[in-house]
Amino acid sequence: MIGNVLGNRYEILEKIGGGGMALVYKARCRLLNRFVAVKVLRHELIEDQEFISRFNIESQAAASLSHPNIVSVYDVGQQEDIHYIVMEYIDGITLKELITSKGALAWKDALNFSVQICSALEHAHKKHIVHRDIKPHNIMITKDGMVKVTDFGIARAATSTTLTLGGNTIGSVHYFSPEQARGSYTDEKSDIYSLGIVMYELLTGRVPFDGESPVAVAIKHIQEQPISPRNINKSIPIALQSIVLKAISKEQSSRYPSATSMLKDLYKAFDEPDNDFVEGGNIDDSPTQKVPIININGSDNMTQKKKKVKKEDRVAVIAAIITSAIIIGGISFVGYNLLFNGQLAINKNIEQKVPNLIGKDLNTVKSFYNDPEKFNIVEVQQEYSDEVEKGKIISQKPGPDEVVKLPETIEVVVSRGPRTITVPNLTNTEYRQAEINLERIGLGYKVIYEFHETIPEGIVIRHVPEEGAEAKTDDIVQLYVSKGREIKMVKVSNLVGKTEDEAKRIIGQLGLVLGKVTREPSDKPKDTVIAQSIPAESEVEEKTVIDLVISDGKPTDEKERYININLPQDKDTVKVKIVANNSEGSKTVYEKMHSKSDSPITVRLVGKGTISIQVYFDDVLKAEDTINFGG
């Protein structure tokens, strides 16, 4: 293959990889002068027409994916018996190579890679494409740490119900799901399982199931529970372990319902790595406990032992209770007599209603009501309130109009005003991370999607209220999220026969861009379009460039001459006009504004025979001459 050119465009340079179904080559695209990766189907598979058909259909499906974490597919083609896919060339290493060289990764690095892989799967699943072979070998890492998921060669539409080709299960045994091992129905949750296995390996440095043969490994996927990741690597946060265990649940119904829901937990794990917020992601690690034996009467052995307390102990307890009651009763009696018959009965006959302080300013109330013989206003607490202004009283105890004996202390709760939260900067943040940030500080949100020419899909363009604004807890932050660039298709009009000006106007109205305009001699009327670079009725994206060829009229025996003109230097600018005179009459052949720094200027004149010319500066005749064109 080295040296071959596929599609009259892709020059094969070197082999860079291969798998069970295809070989991968580095190539150069001659048209765009860039490196690409070309995946060529293995020769032994080209006889299977069903496989070829499926290969082409599914390659086209993969080409429909457009995501920063998915290797772009540029082209799909066939040349004689060579079937190939042209893809984005990635200058990096596979995730498997990274794990092999480093072993278990730091949990933040593992989480970062997992978020990118899950984001890629989310995009594919929304397009109804299931990868079916997620493994570290099919995940490239660029030099700047960006994930690129590749090899959708066995991807199937999400509605497909079979997993086998020619009786052989497709997929990589260490990473495929129990349903793939059984050869039964696969869906998006099969990819989620495989991602969970990849995460397990990233965090522990090894796969959860291994064996002497592929069949042995497959059986373990179906029947065995994995060792808990934290039993292998204690530094793994609880949240990550729970996410992994939920993703690799045996039953599809127990896994994450979608890549979107898994992605939300992955983002949350960045902020709450030690919180077990994942539902259904735990393995019961509690030790075996000895349960007391329950006898036929319904009480356990411990209860029976308690019933054997010695009689003398019970007597001692009862005696202590009676003694305490006598002491307390005596104290209460003394206190009662002191209160009503002694000095503690000060002002016992003065009663007064408690004033209504609610809604009043605390400082004003203190200055007006505080009196040692009447009321003492004491602030006991401050609370946030959306109804009561800051510094004013929310509630009081005793309450308004309650009758009390003086002096009396009135305890009041004072408003701190409404609780406000400073809105953080969410612009240029992935919208799910923005949602988590708002939830964490107690603000609600509403996502509004809109197209944007430059900001990638899923990124917050702006938000209202803006950064730094003070919002109440019940306020809703509106997140304006990019849907990516809106691709508008337009149908190209037939411009041939239109005048140059008409063609330019139509190009602008269609939203296209005028490219190169050239002129050629033609039997068609002069200054009309005789060719266009994009055929009429073609559908292209808005802002596509279209070139025009304009008729320069019929070829003639006219010849060209050049004259040099010195400009006046006493003016900054001057209008130069040249009028040609011959037997057919007078005609302005040149008219243009020039600055004095242009001097001298060279003017091209076309004609035949002998003509006289007149040169004007600012419409004032300055020179006359005769030019012989010969013939």
> Domain containing 110 — which CATH number?
1.10.510.10
Cβ neighbours of 335 (radius 10 Å):
12
Buried (b) or exposed (e) across 612-621, using 16+ Cβ within 10 A?
ebbbbbeeee
Chain centroid to Cα 418, Å, comes to: 34
Query: Do residues 73 and 87 lie in contact, with contact meaning Cβ atoms separated by under 8 Å?
Result: yes
Q: Which domain holds residue 569?
A: 559-628
Query: What pLDDT does residue 503 have?
Result: 94
Write down which residue in 271, 304, 331 finishes a domain.
271
Quote the CA–CA distance of 312 and 248 in Å, as a whole number.
Answer: 62
What Cα–Cα distance (Å) separates residue 228 from each residue in 214, 225, 613? 22, 9, 97
Per-residue pLDDT at 50: 66
- Classify 439 as helix, strand or coil: helix
SS3 605: strand
| Helix or strand run (H / E) with residue 23 | strand 22-29
Same structural domain for residues 35 and 101?
no
Q: What is residue 208's predicted lDDT score, i.e. its pLDDT?
A: 95
Q: At 432, which CATH number?
A: 3.30.10.20
- Say whether pTM exceeds 0.85: no
Q: Residue 67 and residue 119: Cα distance in Å, rounded?
A: 9
Q: How far apart are CA 108 and CA 137, in angstroms?
A: 21
Among 63, 88, 113, give the residue marking a domain's end: 88
pLDDT for 320: 38
CA-based nearest residue to 154, from 140, 178, 179, 134 = 134
Same structural domain for residues 157 and 64? Answer: no
Domain endpoint, select from 481, 499, 533: 481
Is 279 among the domain residues? no
Average pLDDT per consecutive 10 residues, the chain (631 residues; last block may be shorter): 90 84 88 89 76 68 82 86 89 92 93 94 90 91 89 50 37 84 85 97 95 88 93 94 95 93 92 86 39 33 39 40 38 36 45 90 82 84 85 92 89 87 92 88 91 89 91 88 87 94 94 90 90 92 91 77 91 93 86 92 86 93 87 55
Instruction: Tell me the CATH number at 567.
Output: 2.60.40.1930
The residues carrying an active-site annotation are: 133
Instruction: Tell me what pLDDT residue 144 has.
Output: 80
Quick check: is 336 in a domain? no
Contacts of 104 (CB under 8 A, 6+ apart): 110, 202, 203, 204, 205, 233
pLDDT of res. 281: 56
Q: Would residue 77 count as lying in a domain?
A: yes
